[in-house]
Amino acid sequence: MIKVSVLIANRHATSITIEEEFFEALLDIAAEMKLSRNQLITLIDKTRTADNLSSAVRLYILQYYQKKSAAPK
C-alpha cells in the first residue's frame, strides 16, 4: 500500500491510500485519457458513489478495465 497526495480541482489537498498495482493502473489510465493524475482523480471524485475516495479510485479502475475488455475489437 502506498499513500499518494493529490490535489482535487486544483484547490483541495487530500491523499489516497491504494495498492501499488492500482496506482500504476491509475497512471496508465490518466495517460490514455491524456489527463494528469490529479485531473483524473478530480473526475473520479465528481462522479463517485463510494464514500471513501481510495475505494472510489479502485472501483473506477475496475470499471474502466471491465468496459475496455467488453468493447468490440
Could you report the per-residue pLDDT of 21-69, keeping only the tens digit for each? 999 999 999 999 999 999 999 999 999 988 999 999 999 999 999 998 8
Quote the pLDDT of residue 70.
Answer: 86
Which pTM was predicted? Answer: 0.90
**Which residue range(s) make up the domain with 38?**
2-70
Residue 18: closest CA among 48, 42, 50, 53? 53
How many structural domains is the chain composed of?
Answer: 1
Where is 14: in which H helix or E strand? strand 12-18
